[in-house]
Structure 1
Amino acid sequence: MYSPEFRREAVAALRTSTLAEVALATGASPTSLRRWANRSDLNDRPRSGRPPIQATADQVVEALVATAGARISGRDYSTRALADATGLSQSIVSRSVRSLTLPVTEVAGGRELVLVASGFPMVIVGTRSVEPADEAVGAGQVGGSVPPRRIQRRIAGITAALRSAGVGRWGQRFDSEHRQVPTAELVELIRGDADFLVFDPLGEVPGGLITGGEARVSVCTDFTEFLEALKVMLAGCEDIPGALLDLVAARVRHGLEGVLWRESAQAELTESSITSDSMEISSWLPKETRSITEHLAIALREEIIDSAYEPGDRINPRLLSRRMRVPRASVDAALRRMVDDKLLDGSRGGARIPLITTVDVLDLYAARMAIGEVVLRSLALRPQRYLVPVQLALRQVEVSAPTRSGIDVEDADLHFQQELARASGLRESARTFEAVTLRLRLFISVLQLDYSPASDRIVSDDRAIFRALSRADAKTAVEVWRGKVDNAVRHMAGLLGRRRFDQQLWTQLTRSLG
C-alpha cells in the first residue's frame, strides 16, 4: 500500500516525465498513476469491507457484565445469552469475556478473600490461605467450593466493574475534587496475616506507611498491571462471594467509591441475623425460640446465592461452618435435617442442591395457593388484634420495595405471608405453609429468580390483602391472593423462558381451587 507522500511525489513527477517513465521509476502501475493524477486529495481513503467491531463489543459486554452482580454465574450471562441480548455473534462476545478473565485451567483455589475496599485513589484486595479440605469434594470443584468455570465468570464481573467504573483513569484525576476517604483510613485496613494487592496510581503508599504486621503487600501504579495481578489473585480463591459481586455492581455507577467488603463483616452480619426475628421466618414448626440448626437451615439460602450453587452441586459443610463461625457438627446436623425434610438431596451421599424442574415449582405454588386461601378465610373471621403482626410485616414490605433489591423484597413479602399464616389460628395449616415457604425460598435461590421488577405489584397486592382482612372481607382477600400467586408464577415463567412454562398444567392445578 502506497503512502500519501509517495503518491504526491509520483503525481509531481508526471509534470516533467511521461507516464511510462514515472511507472518504471516508481514501480507503480500506469493505471494507478492516472487515478492519482485525477484525484484532488491523495490522502488514504477508508477501506471498504466490514468495519472492526471487537472494540465496541468489548465495551458493550463489559457494561453488561459489570452490573450483573452474583447473577454473572447464571444462564442469563452465558456467552450465548449475552450474544442474544446484544445482537453480536457469540464468537465476538466470547473474545470480550475472555479478555476480562483467565482460562479455567488457571483457577487453582486454596485461598479465600478477606477484604475488598475501593475509594479514590486506592483499591485494596486481600486474600489468605485456607486449610486443606478435610473431605472429598464433587468433581470439577475447587477446594470443595465453587466450580472453576463459575470462579472464571466472577473474575470477569470484578474486572468489568473496575473498567466500567473508570478506575483506570484515577491517575488523571485532580486530588481535591474526588478524594472521599483519607488514604490513611484505607491503608489501615491492611492488617493481619494475609496477602494484599493495592492499586495506587498516585503513589501514596510508601513502604513505611504500611504497618500491617505480617501482611504481605504488592502495590501497582499501572492499571493494566493491577488488573492482570488481580485476575491471578482471584483465580487462586476457592470462592468469590455473591454478596461482594452485588456490592461492587451496585457501586459501578458511583465510580466504585465507598466499597468496603470484609470477610469479618460478613460473619458479623450472619451472627446478627441469627439473633434477630425481624425479617426471618421460623423453621419447620412455629416456635418462640429457634435452635441453631433451624437458623442454619434458613441461612443456607444466602450461602446458595453467595456461592452460586446449581442443581446437583454438593454443599461443602466445612466452608459453610467457617463462613458462619459455628461448629462443624451444627452444620452437619442442619444439612441432615434438610435432607430428611426433602429440602436437599441426599440420595448420592452428602447434601446436594436438588434438581428442580418448572413442574416442581408449579406444584409448589399451587399448593401454596390452596393453603393460603384456607389461611385467609380463617383470619378474616378473627378479631382485629390478630392483624397487628401482619401490619408490621406489611410495613417491612413497603420499606423494602424502594430499594429494588430482589432479595430484600422477596424476604419481606414471604415474611408478610408467613405472618398471615401464623395469625390465622390454624396450627396445622401454618405448619404446612411454613414448610412450603422454606422450600419456595430454596427454589427461588437455586433458580436465581429476581422479583425486584415486580416490587410495586407486590406492595399493592399485600396492601389490598391487608385492607380486605381489616374489613373481614375474605372473598376479596382470596381473590387478591390468587392473583398474587398467579402473577408470581407468570413472572417466574418470563424469567425462565416461556417455552419451559406449562400454561395448561398451571391452569389445571389451580382451576378447581376457585
Structure 2
Amino acid sequence: MTYTTYNDSEVMFEAWGGWVPMAGRRVSTELRENACARVREGSAPAEVAVSLGVSVASVRRWVARAAVGESLGDRPRQGRPRIQDTADQVVSAVLATAGPRIDSSDYSTRAVALATGLSQSVVARSMKSLSVPPAPPTAELRLIAAWFPVLVVGTAELPAASGLRHDVARERARSARSFSRRGAGVVSALRSGGLARWEQRSSDPDGREIPRMIEELGTRSRAERVIAFDPHRLLAPGAQQRPRHDREGRRVPAESDLGGTIEWRLHSGWEGFLAEVREELSTTLDIPGSLLRTLSSDVPRGLERLAWPVGMSDRPSTGFKSSDSAGPVPDSRWLPRENLSLTEQLALALRQEIIDSGYRAGDRIRASHLASRLELPRAAIEAALRRMIDDELLDGSRESVRIPTVTAADVIDLYAARQALGIVLLRALAARPRRHLVPVRQALHRVETVVRSRRGTEVDDADLRFQQELARASGLEQTARSFESLTLRLRMYISVLLLDYTPAAERIVLDDRRIVRALESGDSAAAEEAWRGKLDNAVRHMAGIAQHRGFDVALWTRLTAG
C-alpha cells in the first residue's frame, strides 16, 4: 500500500538552483500553519521563509495572526464580487442538481443563461471551468463515498483487451461533449456540497472508526486507487502525530493504519483534492447516470453521508441524523436548503407520529420515543421541545409536553399573516436578478417530482419548502425570518388537524408555476396575484375537507380583502 499527501496549491518554482516565491499566488493554509509551527519550535523566520519559498514578511504576518488566535485561512476579499465569481457559484448549483439530464439540451449554455439571467458568454466560461475534458480512457470509476469528515473517490485500471492499451473496446460510448458535461456535474456537486468548509468544522468524536470504514469501502468496491479528502488527517494518524515536511511544505508520508494493495492519495487541502479528482475523472471510461442521480439528491444536504454505488455502505434511513447540531451546510447559497433545523425535524416527526399513533389534541408527547425515531440524543429532543413550548407550538411544561389545541380560526389567522408577508417578499424578489431564482426553481422541481410520484403527505412538505425558498431568495432577512417562523406554526397546525393536501396536488403545482413565471418576468403584480390565489385555494381546500371544524371562509375574505 502506498499513499501520498498534498497541500491544496503549489506556490513555488525552481530557478537558478533555488526555490523562489511566486508573487500573487495563493498560499495554502497548511503551509502557513507549518511555517508558524517551525517558528514556535525555534527556527528563525528568515530561515523558514527560505525553506518554504515565501517572503519573510509573510511568515512574520502569519505568526502574528496565529499569536492572537486568528485563523490562518484566506481572509474574505473586500468589495463587490466579480460577476464571473458569482456566475461560477450559480452555474455550479444548477449543474449540481441536474442529475443524468446534465448533457441534454435542458442544460445547454443557452438554457442555463435564460434560467439564471446571466449572459450566455459568462455561463459558457463557468461551464468550461467546471467541465472535465476527456483524456484517453485508462480507468473505470468504482466508488465515491463520504463519511464526514472524509470523502473518497476510487478507480481501477481497465482490464486488458487484445493486449492494447487503447483499443476499440475502450472507446467511450458518449461524445466528448457529453462526457465533459457529466464530469462537470460531479465537480459541481463536490464544489456546492459544503466540503470546502469541513476543515473549519469539528470532526465526529467517533472518528476513530472512519479509517476502518473507508478502507472497507475501498476494498468492497475493488478500487485500486483511492483519492481521499481528509482535512482532519484521520486516515494518517502517524503523520498527524509526528509531522515532517519537505522543502515545499508538503507532509512527508508516515506509517498509516490504511492497509491492503490500494494506492491511497490523501489530501488535506480542498483545491488539491478537487484538481486531482478532475484529472482522474478525465481518464475514466464513463461517468454513470446513477452517480449523477445520487449526487443531485444528496448535494443539498451537504454530502455528509454519501455512498455510490448504492448499497456500498449503510446510509441513515432518515434525513434527521447529522454530525452536528447545525446540520450539513452546502457551500452554495444558490442551492435550496434541504437540511432542516431540529425544530422543523420535530414538527415533521410529530406529524408522522400523529398519523401513525392517532394522537389528538391534548395527548402527551414522550421525548424518549421521538429521540429513538430521529436517532438523536434525548437531551437534544427535550431542549427542542422546550423551545417549541416557548414559541407556543406545543402546550405544557418541561415535565409534560402535549399536542396543542388548534381551531379553524387559528389557521385562517395564520394564513392571512403569511399572505401579507408573502406579498412583501415577492415584491422584493421580483426586482432581483433572475439568478436568485435558482433555488426557487429547484424547489419547484421537487414539488413536481413529489406530485408525480403521489407520495401522500410529502406534498405539503415540498410546497412549504418551496415557499421558504421564495422567502430566502427575497433578500429581506427580517421578513423571511418571520415568514419561516409562521411556517413552523403552520406545519404543526397541519399535523394537529390531520389535513391532507394530496387531493389538491395538481392545483398546488399550477399555482407554484404561476408564481415562478411571474417572478422570472419581473412582474410583481402577477406574482402577487398568483400568491393570493394560491393561499385562497389552500384555505378553501381546508374548508372543503374539514367542514365540521368550522372554517369560516367569510372571515378569510374579510382579512385578505384589498
TM-score scaled by structure 2? 0.40
- Structure whose alpha-carbon radius of gyration is higher: 1
With CA pairs under 8 Å and 6+ residues apart, which has the higher RCO, 1 or 2? 2
Higher-helix-fraction structure: 1
Please, what TM-score do these two structures have when normalized by structure 1?
A: 0.44
